[in-house]
Amino acid sequence: MKGLLITEKLTKYFGGLKAVDGVNIEVGEGELVGLIGPNGAGKTTLFNLISGFLKPTIGRILFRGQEIQGLPPHRIAALGIGRTFQIPKPFADLSVLDNVLVAYGHPFYHSIKAFNSRYRMPKFVAIVEEILEKTGLLPYANARAGDLPIGLKRQLEIARALALNPSLLLLDEPATGLVYEEMLQLLGLIRSLNAEGITIILVEHNMPFAMKLCERIIVMAHGQVIAEGTPEEVRRNPKVIEAYLGHKDYA
């Protein structure tokens, strides 16, 4: 299996703090991988490194064999890595439709072409409406994104990332704050996206959710990968039990 995403000795210091410390992971094409760990384990920092929001102190990130560490986020997005934010960041005063159009327009933003073409063309809108349909947002297409309830804001995060036509999707705690039914819908959505061939890395605090969804789990603690394997293997791993000891999330 050729790795779609590989990190080599990936390390990020914040002053003296090693937020991510020598992380080597490999994610293959088409995988659905869970990334779990206690608070402060470095999961979100790892996402920020992969998506270009942080530059690594040491180490390399390879996407389809190409080094991407240090590239600005918009370049990484255009390469086909979509991400969501743990705290949703909608373009609050734009409509839901326009929010997703922003991402759909990514091929236009690299040149003066951005000034040549109107963005609300029927052919663009039709494709974005398909994405809205898939993520259950179509009835809210004209709503102001800032007015959406939290569940729909999380869906919008995914919808925007999908409009990048990504081959790798980084989901940062997409289930947080969702009610049970919304969570089931999300579960179905993530599975169907993965079935379409999108590789997904999922950061999740909700252990049953991650365990149910992912065939492979990577566990981080104190910036390091401490365990890796199937949900069953990870659950039995003494290191993981130790990392979570006394943590109420561990069931």
Partner 1 sequence: MIEAIFGQYTISVLIFSGIWAVLTLSLNILTGYAGQVSLGHAAFFGIGAYTSALLTTRYGWHFLPAFIGAMLITAVVGGFLGLPSLRVRHDFLVLATMGINFVVVGVFKYTEFFGGSMGIINIRKPVLFGIVLSGEKFLVLVLAYLAFTVWLSYYIARTWAGLAFNAIRADEEAAEAMGVSVPRFKIYAFIISSALAGGAGSLYAHFLGSIFPDHFAFAESIAILSMLVFGGLGTIRGALLGAMVLKALPEYLRIVGDYRYTIYGGILVLMMLFQPMGIIGDGSWLWKKWQEWRKK
Helix (H, G, I), strand (E, B) or coil at 177: coil
How far apart are alpha carbons 235 and 250 in whole angstroms? 9
What is the distance between the alpha carbons of residues 141 and 132, in angstroms, rounded to a whole number?
A: 7
DSSP for 45-68, please give it: HHHHHHTTSS--SEEEEEETTEE-
CA atoms within 13 A on the CB side of 214: 32
Number of residues that bind partner 1 (CB under 8 A): 39
- Structure-token match 């102001």, residue found: 144
**Contact call for residue 86 and partner 1 (CB under 8 A):** no
Q: Mask: binding to partner 1, 57-76, rule CB under 8 A, as x and -? A: ---------------xxx--
Q: Which of 22, 105, 136, 229 binds partner 1 (CB under 8 A)?
A: 105
One of 9, 55, 67, 109 touching partner 1 (CB under 8 A):
109
Q: 72 or 188: whose CB is closer to partner 1? A: 72
| Binding status of residue 154 toward partner 1 by CB under 8 A | no
User: Which residue's structure tokens are 């040549």?
Assistant: 116
* Chain position carrying tokens 């990484």: 76
Q: Is 12 in the site for partner 1 (CB under 8 A)?
A: no
Residue with tokens 């990334």: 35
What is the distance of C-alpha 171 from the center of its chain? 2
Task: Kindly state whether residue 114 participates in binding partner 1, applying the rule CB under 8 A.
Answer: yes
Other Cβ atoms within 10 Å of 110 Cβ, number: 11
| Cβ-Cβ contacts under 8 Å for 130 (sequence gap 6 or more) | none
Q: Which of 62, 94, 141, 241 binds partner 1 (CB under 8 A)?
A: 94
Give whichever of 115 and 180 is closer to partner 1, judged by the CB atom.
115
Q: How far is the CB of 203 from partner 1 (least distance, A)?
A: 15
Contacting residue, 118, 180, 197, 238, with partner 1 by CB under 8 A: 118
Are 4 and 167 within 8 A, CB to CB?
yes
Binding partner 1 by CB under 8 A: which of 93, 147, 215, 232? 93
Mark the segment that binds partner 1 (CB under 8 A) among 1-9, 19-27, 45-53, 225-233.
45-53
Q: Give the shortest CB-96-to-partner 1 separation in angstroms.
A: 13
**Between 114 and 195, CB nearer to partner 1:** 114
- Give the three-state DSSP class for 3: strand
- We find the least distance from the C-beta atom of residue 84 to partner 1, in angstroms, to be 9
* Minimum distance of partner 1 from residue 17's CB (angstroms): 22
Helix 96-104 to helix 150-162 angle, to the nearest 10 degrees?
Answer: 30
In the complex, the residues that contact partner 1 under the rule CB under 8 A are 51-53, 72-74, 77-78, 82-83, 85, 89-94, 98, 101-103, 105-110, 113-120, 160-161, 163-164
